[in-house]
Amino acid sequence: MTSALADPRLSGRTVRRIAFDEETIAARVAELGAEITAAYPDGDLLVLGLLKGSFIFLSDLVRQITRPLQVDFLVAVSYGDAMVSSGTVRLLYDPETRLEGKQILLVEDIVDSGRTLNKLMSLLEERSPRSLEICALLHKRIADELHYEARFVGFDAPHEFLVGYGLDHAENFRHLPYIASLQ
Ligand code: PRP
**Tens-place pLDDT, residues 129-176:** 999 999 999 999 998 888 899 999 999 999 999 999 999 999 999 999
For ligand 1, the distance from its centroid to the CA atom of residue 111, given in whole angstroms, is 8
In DSSP notation, 88-120 reads: EEEEEE--SS--TTSEEEEEEEEESSSHHHHHH
pLDDT above 80: residue 3: no
Residue range 127-142, pLDDT digits in tens: 999 999 999 999 999 9
Q: Return the residue whose CA atom lies nearest to atom 10 of ligand 1.
A: 112
pLDDT above 70: residue 89: yes
For ligand 1, the distance from its centroid to the CA atom of residue 142, given in whole angstroms, is 14
Helix (H, G, I), strand (E, B) or coil at 170: coil
Distances (CA, A) of 100 to 68, 74, 96, 119, 148: 17, 16, 12, 18, 19
102-114 burial: b if 16+ Cβ within 10 Å, else e:
bbbbbbbbbbbbb
Task: Give the ligand 1 atom nearest the CA of 171.
Answer: 22
**Beta-ladder partners of 105:** 47, 133
- Tell me what pLDDT residue 5 has: 62
Task: Give the ligand 1 atom nearest the CA of 167.
Answer: 22
Per the annotation, the verdict on 156 as an active-site residue is: no
For ligand 1, the distance from its centroid to the CA atom of residue 108, given in whole angstroms, is 8
Helix (H, G, I), strand (E, B) or coil at 37: helix
Residue range 11-43, pLDDT digits in tens: 888 889 999 999 999 999 999 999 999 999 999
Question: Among the residues of the chain, which ranges form H helices?
Answer: 22-39, 55-62, 115-125
The β-bridge relationship of strands 70-79 and 88-93 is antiparallel
**Could you tell me how many helices (H) and strands (E) the chain has, helices first?**
3, 9
pTM score, whole prediction: 0.92
Catalytic choice (7, 60, 109, 112): 112
Give me the torsion for CA of 50, 53, 57, 59, rounded to 10°.
70
**Residue 182: pLDDT band with limits 50, 70, 90:** confident
pLDDT over 90, % of the chain? 70
Q: Report the distance separating Cα 100 and Cα 131, nearest Å.
A: 9
